[in-house]
Copies of this chain bind each other. A is one copy, B any other.
Amino acid sequence: MNYSHQRLLHFTEQVFIKCGMNEQDAKQAADVLIAADLRGIDSHGVARLSGYVRLYEANRANTNAQHKIIYETPSTATIDADQGLGLVVAPKAMDIAIEKAKNVGTGWVAIQNSNHFGIAAYHAMKALPNNMIGIAMTNASPLVAPTYSKQRMLGTNPICYAFPAGKHLPIVIDMATSAAANGKLEIAQRTGKPIPNNWVQTKDGEESTNANELSNGGSLLPLGGHKGYGLASLVDVLCGVLSGANYGPWVPPFVAFLNPLENLPGNGIGHFLGAMRIDAFRPADDFKNHIDNWIDAFKNANRINKNQHVIIPGEPEFLLEKERLETGIPLNDKVKADLQELANKLALEF
């Protein structure tokens, strides 16, 4: 049995209200989470709801946060998120970036003192209806070892770029800078199947095909070796160092049962968001026509297997969203039990 997105939205919103959020913020946070489920990024949707609640219960997330701008220029701002959820502050920050782009061509917002913000694509895609390119990045709790190290020093630190198209669906590139996204690893953990040998390493830094290596003290590996380490580093510097948030090994864990390290160099976790007005570079219609042409060229590129065309980044997620808006969202038993437990604890109906 699938769950309608409306039902999951309503439940998630009620949970956040029980945690002390006002209705508007709760609606926003729920919208970001359910967008992940709709787009098939199940690891970042309602599956994480109880994790956010535990952060709130452990006094690690402020559900009544009042964000404020602490530095600002015509094209930039730095925001102190007041220990709120990234789910709430990131869309507000994206609105600021869009407003700045309207005024001076581009807008860039670094955010400190935040918590996890859900899927990067949600925030970057806010730029699209404004004929803008959207950019979103976040750092995250350390799980990835840099090349030559066996220590977890970087998060899966995603990079997202969203580009508007004309007649076609937008191009949305949203990718963790680790070799494997959490979601794929979780599927392998459930099925017990071996994973490719470049996804994780053991606690001693040796190759492994065991999806459970992380629980043995191992670490995730960066995408394609040292280049992924470079990509994760640039995300960490923009999100953590530039904003005044924590970075590297000091990024506070998402799971409430692990305490942050002592003597943190910054505040909370950090995000970096951007919006660029297309017509600050060329007429928006020209750009969108050429994006359509780009998409047509790539879809029609010579295939290796005649039954598999080239996939345009973001297309599978848009198609799945369309499907799940109609047929609902499947939840696995563990997630269902988790949500039922939340409902019981908070005296809500699931």
Q: Mark A286-321, 1 if CB is under 8 A from B, else 0.
A: 110011011001100111110011110100000000
Cα distance A151–B303 in the bound complex, in angstroms: 8
Given A223-B223, A237-B163, A282 and B148 touching (CB < 8 A)? no
Closest Cβ of chain B to A222, distance in Å, is 9
Which listed segment binds B: A45-53, A171-179, A342-350?
A171-179
Partner of A242, one of B148, B204, B287: B287
Closest chain B residue to A196 by CB distance?
A: B225
List A residues 142-166 near B (Cβ within 8 Å): 145-151, 153, 159, 161, 163
Question: Copy number in this complex?
Answer: 2
Which of A73, A146, A308 has most B Cβ within 10 Å?
Answer: A73
Which of A133, A228, A265, A280 has most B Cβ within 10 Å?
Answer: A280
Give the size of the chain A interface in residues (CB under 8 angstroms).
77
A230 contacts which chain B residues (CB < 8 A)? 173, 175, 313
A20 within 8 A of partner (CB): no
Cα distance A73–B171 in the bound complex, in angstroms: 25
List A residues 170-224 near B (Cβ within 8 Å): 171, 173, 175, 179, 204-205, 223-224
Are A242 and B282 in contact, with the CB atoms below 8 A? yes
List A residues 233-275 near B (Cβ within 8 Å): 233-234, 236-238, 241-244, 247-249, 265-266
Partner of A282, one of B75, B78, B227, B247: B78
Partner of A297, one of B179, B249, B278, B303: B249
Closest chain B residue to A241 by CB distance?
A: B290
Cα distance A276–B241 in the bound complex, in angstroms: 14
Are B298 and A75 in contact, with the CB atoms below 8 A? no
Given A301-B149, A309-B148, A74 and B71 touching (CB < 8 A)? no
